[in-house]
Amino acid sequence: MVGVDDRCMMIARFQPLHYGHFNVIKYCYEKFKEVIIIVGMASQSHTPENPFTAGERIEMIRETIKWAKLPLDKLITVTLPTLEVSRAAVHYVKLYSPPFKYVVTLNPIIQRIFIEEGYHVIQPPIVERGNYRGTVIRKLIANGSDEWKKLVPPPVAEIIERIDGINRIRMLYKEKLPGYYVTV
Amino acid sequence: MVGVDDRCMMIARFQPLHYGHFNVIKYCYEKFKEVIIIVGMASQSHTPENPFTAGERIEMIRETIKWAKLPLDKLITVTLPTLEVSRAAVHYVKLYSPPFKYVVTLNPIIQRIFIEEGYHVIQPPIVERGNYRGTVIRKLIANGSDEWKKLVPPPVAEIIERIDGINRIRMLYKEKLPGYYVTV
Amino acid sequence: MVGVDDRCMMIARFQPLHYGHFNVIKYCYEKFKEVIIIVGMASQSHTPENPFTAGERIEMIRETIKWAKLPLDKLITVTLPTLEVSRAAVHYVKLYSPPFKYVVTLNPIIQRIFIEEGYHVIQPPIVERGNYRGTVIRKLIANGSDEWKKLVPPPVAEIIERIDGINRIRMLYKEKLPGYYVTV
Amino acid sequence: MVGVDDRCMMIARFQPLHYGHFNVIKYCYEKFKEVIIIVGMASQSHTPENPFTAGERIEMIRETIKWAKLPLDKLITVTLPTLEVSRAAVHYVKLYSPPFKYVVTLNPIIQRIFIEEGYHVIQPPIVERGNYRGTVIRKLIANGSDEWKKLVPPPVAEIIERIDGINRIRMLYKEKLPGYYVTV
Amino acid sequence: MVGVDDRCMMIARFQPLHYGHFNVIKYCYEKFKEVIIIVGMASQSHTPENPFTAGERIEMIRETIKWAKLPLDKLITVTLPTLEVSRAAVHYVKLYSPPFKYVVTLNPIIQRIFIEEGYHVIQPPIVERGNYRGTVIRKLIANGSDEWKKLVPPPVAEIIERIDGINRIRMLYKEKLPGYYVTV
Amino acid sequence: MVGVDDRCMMIARFQPLHYGHFNVIKYCYEKFKEVIIIVGMASQSHTPENPFTAGERIEMIRETIKWAKLPLDKLITVTLPTLEVSRAAVHYVKLYSPPFKYVVTLNPIIQRIFIEEGYHVIQPPIVERGNYRGTVIRKLIANGSDEWKKLVPPPVAEIIERIDGINRIRMLYKEKLPGYYVTV
């Protein structure tokens, strides 16, 4: 049976999944027998910062792994609702995931709270982040540029187009009535 | 009995109700037998962006309808707590309201998520929005100008004065200690 | 304008609305200019104890008032999500409703917490409660008896039949897998 | 790409996973290209009714699938926090999962709310449920009987023993101080 | 400065505080420099199982300590809202309290989850529990017996009488309309 | 027994406790027999605006009182989770605290909502606030300056150094990926 030492955990929002995430996933795949990927803020969608649903993000992850010819059977997906940031949140992750020892992340806050709780945080090989950032990608889409397609793996671009994600993001960025969009 | 086809739903925060909202309400009244008005973010009040309670906002709606000599018996009020924006939120609206087929709103995000769930979204006749916006009105009040009174129906101005809303808003805008006001 | 003294508040779950509720509503209608009816546990439906949605319950209230030839324009509907029972809950009611002075209810707990917060609690004229209870009615429906129809106003029976509520309740009472039904 | 028509969804609490669940999983595996398994009440553990964490339940699912020599790459795991039962809950499932058309479940309430929202609910071939029930298994464990091991796939028994689940359940059943255990 | 080794934590609902709790508190006072007392389910009150508010329970604790001539300056009070029981709940306790190493409790579930997270759980000297139980006391009060006064320290009886807690409990036990009392 | 008239309540986030807070605490100590200090947003930590846990903040309060040679036995600590700002929040405070009549605060919003609910709000003697503000202090720490140590009582500086709070804050301010840090 696969044990605690054989698993690493990666957490992100994947809004959308880009080559920055993909590099971390590849790194985890090389080093570990099982890779737990946690889709954060799963309870939110259709906002400028979180346009895609958790389900759409799971599809991006799975299709990217297939496209990269990595084995899907090493992947464990977990969906975590939006939480207040706090050290206790580590323990929701612990509760929702099969046991793991290693955490791979670039986010300094996530690194810190997992270190404070005794996890092994691994720094993946530094890759130039450049534009591999969700905000950059969402803004490119909102502005009508096609440049974003170079920043995400091909199946992600395909999913975004299939679900009409481009219009969704444009609309979400268009008229940000103050606080309003939080209503419904 | 009034059926699904005879009802339309309008959702807003009404902070406060202004002529922009009133035009949509009038339009709904002309076209439908029953008008469901949902007071969004009902669980929030006393913040710069949501100064009025849900109860105060229901009063604004009812008194405006009376003032306009429209029949109150066509109105159905529903109060919806603050939610994360997501497509699932549509279904809270569905759960809280008698069944309806039509949605009337100017907000593109609300339009989008209701369209994605199969509702008929109706665009009300385009009226110049101009200053008919909650933010503009709250800022005018905070700055001590009386110009806001031209932007809301007379009973709304009367209610705001009766509950000393002007001082409430001024205070809420005055010293916005960072994050502090979220405490209590 | 209608003031605090002219309004009374009634709160119940209305699962479903029965003649016990109706008597209280009639009493409120006789005594006050406006009647605030709060649909409690609005966020719950499709359980043995709360089979109907908040929207379905609002329809029951409105259609019963029409059937009784009482004026709908005196009615103010408010929907309140499920809360932990506590004295603070009074203040959610306060926040969600236009201001009111009088509370009409038969439930001793609701009476107590509103008295502790300074409201005037009115005892409606004692009517023999007998079988005018939600539990009794839901059990009659679940057991296949037609006796429940005598316990609710005609429009309520009509609504329950139209939405296929009889089968819904039967199914909800049939196989109560332990805790299971709380899952989805 | 795998589409809506190729996926079915199964939801359960898996406290613990037993042969009843396993039969449904096998059925889904035969009929569909991808199987979404939703671990319900993921936010709860260490209670008499929900002794295992969501992570432990995911392990039970994956190890059972490996043991049955079924391909893990067809499996999509999703974790859903405890929700009030309501039709809106369907939409959390929708939000958290890649799109699917078919629902396989034996629970009549889950069947009903998914049918009301337009899903295709499939009845798996009727297998004698008998003692294949979480409650029966947890009680057998609490009472010190070994009979429960016949009701769950071998890897589930192994996991329960490895995490000392037998003592956990016995303790949880031992002294159920009223409401107390809800405290921490 | 007082350190981790000098503090123990005790958690209970204190509905109401009785001699069972008092014995644990005395034991903690003898052994440690600071005693953290966590009032659990602080967000609930006015139910048959949790009749008293968190504030009333803090008063019971402080007045009992004064009455026992123990020093109040060793006491640290913390109020914790109602949580789902889960191992993650340990971490809310951790987040809300100054750091501590020792846990003193008689409740086996609390013992278990703190042991699983690496705390030192201390068994206080076994005192005959007998009727030193919240349920027993609340039932005695509801039934009109005065026997409960022997089960709680004198200041607790005094507080309960001052806040008219006897009538509150009697009313809460009287007519337990099904689920109803959860509404408000 | 200490009564309602002998207690005042002070609420703040204490991120971290500074001389501004300390002046209010001293003022309360002079005027009242018991001082209720409510740690607001207790459920949040490890964010740029709320870096410290509730437990760490309780330690800051207690150690500062000891350092000032004020008696700890007059202090009552209460921890309140993050709430939406609303008038109903007053009632959570009411529910969580022993009864009090006086509120001492410099925050205008807190003043307003407590005045609207009938409390006596006391303005502490005006002290030059200057840099005695959480934001200022957190920014100084983030920027590597040592000036912040002059703004907080010595035990607070000691606690922050002991828990390595300086590095925690620097990291939290370093790379604020948009919304990201809300994930875990």
Interfacial E residues in 99-158 facing C (CB < 8 Å):
none
**Mean pLDDT computed over C95-100:** 95
- SS3 state at E61: helix
Q: How far is D55 from chain A (nearest CA, A)?
A: 4
Question: Which residues of chain B lie closer than 8 angstroms to A172, CB-CB?
Answer: 108-109, 112
pLDDT at F7 over 70: yes
For the beta carbon of residue D108, count every other beta carbon within 10 angstroms.
Answer: 17
Question: Which residues of chain C lie closer than 8 angstroms to F81, CB-CB?
Answer: none
Report yes or no: F22 and F68 within 8 Å, Cβ to Cβ. yes
Minimal CA–CA distance to D104: which of D13, D4, D11?
Answer: D11
| pLDDT (0 to 100) of residue A177 | 46
- SS3 state at B9: strand
Minimal CA–CA distance to B139: which of B105, B99, B169, B178?
Answer: B169
CA distance D50 to E153: 36
CA atoms within 13 A on the CB side of E19: 15
Q: Please, is E45 exposed, middle or buried when counting C-beta atoms within 10 Å of its C-beta (0-12, 13-18, 19+)?
A: buried
Percent of chain E with pLDDT strictly greater than 90: 70
Phi/psi of residue F145, each to 5°? -80, 155
| pLDDT (0 to 100) of residue F109 | 80
Percent of chain D with pLDDT strictly greater than 70: 93
Report yes or no: F65 and F22 within 8 Å, Cβ to Cβ. no
Q: How far is B20 from chain A (nearest CA, A)?
A: 13
| pLDDT (0 to 100) of residue F117 | 87
Q: How far is D93 from chain C (nearest CA, A)?
A: 8
* B contact test, residue of C14, C35, C77 with most B CBs within 10 A: C77
CA distance C70 to C25: 10
**Mean pLDDT computed over D62-77:** 98
One-letter amino acid for residue D130 of the chain: G
Q: How far is C148 from chain B (nearest CA, A)?
A: 22
Helix (H) or strand (E) holding D165: helix D165-174
Report yes or no: B61 and B17 within 8 Å, Cβ to Cβ. yes
CB contact, 8 Å: E178 with chain D? Answer: no
Distances (CA, A) of D149 to B13, D20, D136: 56, 14, 12
Phi/psi of residue C155, each to 5°? -65, -30
Tell me the residue ranges of DSSP E strands in F55-156.
75-79, 102-104, 120-122
Closest residue, chain A, to F177 (C-alpha): A107
CA distance B184 to F114: 10
Distances (CA, A) of C105 to B168, C108, E25, F88, F140: 33, 8, 42, 22, 57
Question: Which residues of chain E lie closer than 8 angstroms to C107, CB-CB?
Answer: 175, 177, 180-181
Report yes or no: B96 and C41 within 8 Å, Cβ to Cβ. no
Distance, CA of F174 to chain centre: 24
ipTM for the whole complex? 0.92
Share the mean pLDDT of chain A.
90
| pLDDT (0 to 100) of residue B136 | 95
Task: Show which subunits contact E, needing at least 3 CB pairs below 8 angstroms.
Answer: A, C, D, F
The length of chain D in residues reads 184
Minimal CA–CA distance to B182: which of B48, B82, B15, B13?
Answer: B48
Minimal CA–CA distance to A177: which of B93, B102, B137?
Answer: B137
Taking an 8 Å cut-off on Cβ atoms, the answer to whether D83 and C183 are in contact is yes
**Mean pLDDT computed over E27-40:** 96
| pLDDT (0 to 100) of residue A175 | 62
Task: Show which subunits contact A, needing at least 3 CB pairs below 8 angstroms.
Answer: B, D, E, F
Taking an 8 Å cut-off on Cβ atoms, the answer to whether D40 and C82 are in contact is no
Distances (CA, A) of D150 to D18, D67, D136: 9, 15, 12
D108's CB contacts (< 8 A; 6+ apart) are C171, C172, C174, C175
Minimal CA–CA distance to A121: which of A145, A104, A146?
Answer: A104
Q: How far is E93 from chain D (nearest CA, A)?
A: 8
Taking an 8 Å cut-off on Cβ atoms, the answer to whether E109 and D184 are in contact is yes
pLDDT < 70 stretches in chain A: 126-127, 175-184
> In the C/F pair of chains, how many CB contacts fall below 8 A?
20
Find the CB nearest E96 among F54, F72, F96: F54
Report yes or no: A89 and A48 within 8 Å, Cβ to Cβ. no
Taking an 8 Å cut-off on Cβ atoms, the answer to whether D181 and E85 are in contact is yes
**Mean pLDDT computed over F143-160:** 97
State the virtual CA torsion across F42, F47, F52, F55 in degrees, nearest 10: 30
**Mean pLDDT computed over C149-159:** 98
CB contact, 8 Å: A95 with chain E? Answer: yes
pTM comes to 0.92
Q: How far is F87 from chain C (nearest CA, A)?
A: 7
CA angle, residues B17, B23, B24, in degrees to nearest 5? 85
Q: Cα Rg for chain F, rounded, in angstroms?
A: 16
D122 bridge partner residues: D104
Question: Which residues of chain D lie closer than 8 angstroms to A155, CB-CB?
Answer: 1
Q: How confident is the model at residue D12 (pLDDT cuts 50, 70, 90)?
A: very high
Taking an 8 Å cut-off on Cβ atoms, the answer to whether B86 and D95 are in contact is yes
Closest residue, chain D, to E110 (C-alpha): D184
| pLDDT (0 to 100) of residue B176 | 55
One-letter amino acid for residue E123 of the chain: Q
For the beta carbon of residue D16, count every other beta carbon within 10 angstroms.
Answer: 25
| pLDDT (0 to 100) of residue B155 | 98
For the beta carbon of residue B133, count every other beta carbon within 10 angstroms.
Answer: 16
Q: Where are the domains of chain C?
A: 4-172
Closest residue, chain E, to C93 (C-alpha): E184
Closest residue, chain D, to A155 (C-alpha): D1
Sign (positive/negative) of CA torsion D77, D83, D85, D87?
negative
Taking an 8 Å cut-off on Cβ atoms, the answer to whether C79 and B76 are in contact is no
F33-61 pLDDT per residue, tens: 999 999 999 999 988 889 999 999 999 99
Tokens found for residue C45: 């439906």
Minimal CA–CA distance to E100: which of E2, E5, E1?
Answer: E5
Task: Look at A7-11, A126-130, C129-133, E103-107 and tell me which has the smallest mean pLDDT.
Answer: A126-130
CA distance C38 to C22: 14
Interfacial B residues in 21-50 facing D (CB < 8 Å):
none
Question: Which residues of chain A lie closer than 8 angstroms to B108, CB-CB?
Answer: 171-172, 174-175
Report yes or no: E54 and E11 within 8 Å, Cβ to Cβ. no
Tokens found for residue F42: 């207790």
Tokens found for residue D79: 């974790």
Question: Which residues of chain B lie closer than 8 angstroms to F109, CB-CB?
Answer: 46-47, 171-172, 180-181, 184
CA atoms within 13 A on the CB side of F10: 29
Taking an 8 Å cut-off on Cβ atoms, the answer to whether D94 and B88 are in contact is yes
Q: How far is E33 from chain D (nearest CA, A)?
A: 24
* E contact test, residue of A85, A91, A92 with most E CBs within 10 A: A91
CB contact, 8 Å: E172 with chain D? Answer: no
Q: How confident is the model at residue E175 (pLDDT cuts 50, 70, 90)?
A: low
Find the CB nearest E45 among F53, F76, F95: F95
* E contact test, residue of D43, D167, D180, D181 with most E CBs within 10 A: D180
Quick one: CATH architecture of D4-172? 3-Layer(aba) Sandwich (3.40)
CA distance B28 to B32: 6
Q: How far is A182 from chain B (nearest CA, A)?
A: 5
| pLDDT (0 to 100) of residue D176 | 54
| pLDDT (0 to 100) of residue E180 | 35
| pLDDT (0 to 100) of residue F130 | 82
Task: Show which subunits contact D, needing at least 3 CB pairs below 8 angstroms.
Answer: A, B, C, E
CA distance B140 to B143: 5
Whether chains C and A touch (3+ CB pairs under 8 A) is answered by no
Question: Which residues of chain D lie closer than 8 angstroms to A54, CB-CB?
Answer: 78, 95-97
CA distance A25 to A19: 9
Closest residue, chain B, to A163 (C-alpha): B116
CA distance D66 to D61: 9
Report yes or no: B12 and B25 within 8 Å, Cβ to Cβ. no
- Between D108-116 and C165-174, two packed helices, what is the crossing angle to 10 degrees? 150
Whether chains A and D touch (3+ CB pairs under 8 A) is answered by yes
Q: pLDDT higher for F64 or D46?
A: F64
E173 bridge partner residues: none
B63-120 pLDDT per residue, tens: 999 999 999 999 999 999 988 878 778 889 999 999 999 999 878 788 888 988 889 9
B164's CB contacts (< 8 A; 6+ apart) are none
Closest residue, chain A, to B90 (C-alpha): A184
CA atoms within 13 A on the CB side of F98: 27
CA distance E131 to E19: 9
| pLDDT (0 to 100) of residue B177 | 46
Closest residue, chain D, to C51 (C-alpha): D86
B18's CB contacts (< 8 A; 6+ apart) are B132, B133, B134, B137, B151, B152, B153, B156
Taking an 8 Å cut-off on Cβ atoms, the answer to whether F109 and B181 are in contact is yes
pLDDT at F96 over 70: yes
Taking an 8 Å cut-off on Cβ atoms, the answer to whether B182 and F82 are in contact is yes
Share the mean pLDDT of chain C.
89
Q: End-to-end CA distance of chain A, in Å?
A: 45
B119-155 pLDDT per residue, tens: 999 988 766 778 899 999 999 999 999 999 999 999 9
D35's CB contacts (< 8 A; 6+ apart) are D7, D8, D10, D25, D28, D29, D74, D75, D76
| pLDDT (0 to 100) of residue F175 | 63
CB contact, 8 Å: B181 with chain C? Answer: no
Taking an 8 Å cut-off on Cβ atoms, the answer to whether F12 and B183 are in contact is yes
The length of chain E in residues reads 184
CA distance B18 to B22: 6
One-letter amino acid for residue D82 of the chain: T
| pLDDT (0 to 100) of residue A84 | 82
